Chains A and B, each alone.
Chain A
């Protein structure tokens, strides 16, 4: 009994000694509100609205000299700007991290910003610049880094786009190895899709089918129509090149059904957002 009493006293004293939670300043409160509104708008598919609030959050974070909030909002802003097709603005947002080496950003935030810049450059067709930024991110990504699979996947796509199918297949297989667990399922599917595309490009369409089927299986569970459509398109190409016209037709018809389902949703803000991504 006395032991229980002592334990209770210890807990009580500890609770009294703990500092009261700090109330945020008005600017800190506005920062939290802007971040919350941006996230809600991004979830609802209003990317233009999300960009406005991520921009406001970035401004507030800069005024507070909060490096982690600056980096997080700059990276999120670059993502929604890219979804909106504003590549120049997406690059400019990342400059808040990449062009400020003395701002005290963590290695994780720097890796995220470099990876995002590599993704942006690759999407714009600037393969050389994308390779440079992917290399920067890879050098910073310590063993066990959570972005290792994504970086390898970007490098695999760059190799494929440069006509190096064998290197692309090697990098994609390495990405698949690194993409583990629930959080890694998206990058695992990306790796399998790129592996399939690399095998098709190398003149091995029959060997492309299995990784592409695996990618489709994962993407169906993730529920992303863009990726499902990409998988079905690649499967149709590979099956056709492998001489299985019936299977190719089946994949084409399924891809068409997905495309129609996406197009039928046109007009709804969330679907418009999806189509822009």
Chain B
């Protein structure tokens, strides 16, 4: 009887903890994705490719102030 009661309590505790665990997993996965994307920049040669006519990219992002863009 006691064993059954303990089992039910454990089940309830796990159920309530589940959303928290899910959120944690999502956050960890997203952070991992961002890091993976960041790491893909190295080596830099992977990050920008010359245009077919040998031009470097003309990117409007470079128009942002030095503190933001560099």
User: Which residues of A approach B to under 8 Å, CB–CB?
Assistant: 35, 39, 42-45, 72, 75-76, 79-80, 82-83, 85, 112, 115-116, 118-119, 122-123, 125, 130, 147, 149-151, 153-154, 157-158, 161, 186-187, 190, 219-228, 230, 232, 250, 253-254, 257-258, 261-262, 265, 268, 270-271, 273-277
Contacts and interface: CB of A to CB of B under 8 A. Distances in A.
A190 B60 contact: yes
Given A122-B63, A123-B69, A187-B60, A76 B45 contact: no
Contacts of A80: 56
Interface string B15-32: 000000000000100110
A262 to B, nearest CB: 7
A257 B31 CA distance: 8
A264 to B, nearest CB: 10
A76 B56 contact: yes
A121 B41 CA distance: 27
Given A157-B64, A230-B68, A253 B58 contact: no
Most buried by B among A79, A85, A186, A224: A224
23 contacts: A35-B54, A39-B54, A75-B56, A76-B56, A79-B58, A85-B66, A85-B70, A119-B63, A123-B66, A123-B69, A154-B60, A161-B65, A220-B34, A224-B41, A225-B37, A226-B69, A228-B38, A253-B31, A261-B39, A268-B42, A271-B44, A274-B41, A277-B70
B61 to A, nearest CB: 5
Contacts of A250: 27
Contact of A116 (B33, B40, B53, B58): B58
A190 B35 CA distance: 20
Nearest to A234: B68
A228 B34 contact: yes
Contacts of B53: 72
Contacts of B31: 253-254, 257
B37 A190 contact: no
Contact of B50 (A39, A118, A254): A39
Contacts of A220: 33-34, 37
A268 B44 CA distance: 11
Contacts of B65: 123, 125, 161
B70 A275 contact: yes
Contact of B42 (A76, A82, A130, A265): A265
Contacts of A230: 61, 64, 68
Nearest to B53: A72
A225 B70 CA distance: 11
A194 to B, nearest CB: 9
Interface centre among A39, A151, A161, A277 (most CB of B within 10 A): A277
